[in-house]
Structure formats: structure tokens, C-alpha cells
Amino acid sequence: MHRWSVLNSQYLVDRAWMKLREDHVRLPNGHEIEEFHVVEYPNWAAVVCLDTEGHLVLVEQYRHGISRLSLELPAGVIEPEEAPHDGARRELLEETGYVSDDWTFLGRCATDPSNHSNYAYLYVARDAAPAAEQALDHEEVIRVHRMPIDDLNRALDAGDIVHGIHLTALLWASRRGLLV
């Protein structure tokens, strides 16, 4: 298997948080795709957060793409000069007001390798405690939601948590015994 050859490329959308690129590509078998779209997003971090009482610290917010409320991990964009773990710590504090000194890196995964350019860096923060008020961006409306860890399977089965990358983080954390 070989990389595709890019014959031509142009940006259709160029915004601060998202760029949409249209590539004309040639596959290794010689077939050409004249309009292959790639979405360039920045890398981001997500945190499986357990507080001092063993509750998951989640966030609930409306997600317009699926037209519903979504129960999620605290997460957000890693700034250009920021290390992934610093971005994770900052996002946890901004979205929930919680801090932790007990961090574990779970790994990174491609958010959608077929046509997205970015990666998500996944962490667990344990023994977290509230330290500040939320510091949300103007476009964020987020409610902090604490969930007893014993309720996680019920929430998963009910479809309360639907974000694929966040489900990945919870799976990895569970497999490593970090959700106890």
C-alpha cells in the first residue's frame, strides 16, 4: 500500500478552527478522485476525570450536528504551542473547574482517519477536586455532571454517551483498570 499522489489541492473553507480542503488525488492503482475532501481540524485532548469521591466528572452540552444534548468528557482544542497534557489540564479546569495531580496518558487516536487530519490525545485524571469556577468560551454552554462510576454501564447502554472518541477513552481507561 502506498500513499496517494496529490495532483491538485485547494481550500474551500479556511477558518481558525477548521479548514476544508479539496484534493485531486491519484491512487496507487492509477484511479483518480477529482474531489476528495479533507477536513483539517486542530488536535484536541479529552479527559476521563474521576473526583476524590470516585465519581466521573462529565460535561453536558448541546451538539448541533446530532441535534441533541450530549454527555461527554471534558475536552477541547490543544493550542498551537501547547503540549497535549497541558491542553488536557487546561480544558479540564476551564470546562469543569476541577484540577488533579494524578494524570495518566491513555494514548492518541485519529478522530476520523478517512478525511480528518487531526488526533485526539486521551488522558485519565484521578482524585480531581474543584478548584475554580468554569471559564467557558462565549460559544460554550456546558453543565458539569457528576456520575457515580457504578452508573457508567447504565449510561453507556442507554446511549447517554455517544461521542466515539470519548467512548474510546472510557474503554482504554477501563481496560487498564483506571476506573475504580
Cell numbers for 58, please give them: 462529565
- Whether 72 maps to a domain, the answer reads yes
Q: Is the domain of 110 the same as that of 77? A: yes
pLDDT bracket for residue 180 (50, 70, 90): confident
Q: Is the domain of 148 the same as that of 101? A: yes
pLDDT at 113: 96
Q: Is the domain of 22 the same as that of 109? A: no
pLDDT at 137: 87
- Whether 116 maps to a domain, the answer reads yes
Q: Is the domain of 113 the same as that of 149? A: yes
pTM for this model (two decimals): 0.94
For residue range 20-68, what is the model confidence (pLDDT) as tens digits?
Answer: 999 999 999 999 999 999 999 999 999 999 999 999 999 999 999 999 9
- Whether 180 maps to a domain, the answer reads no
The domain of 130 spans 44-175
Q: Is the domain of 66 the same as that of 114? A: yes
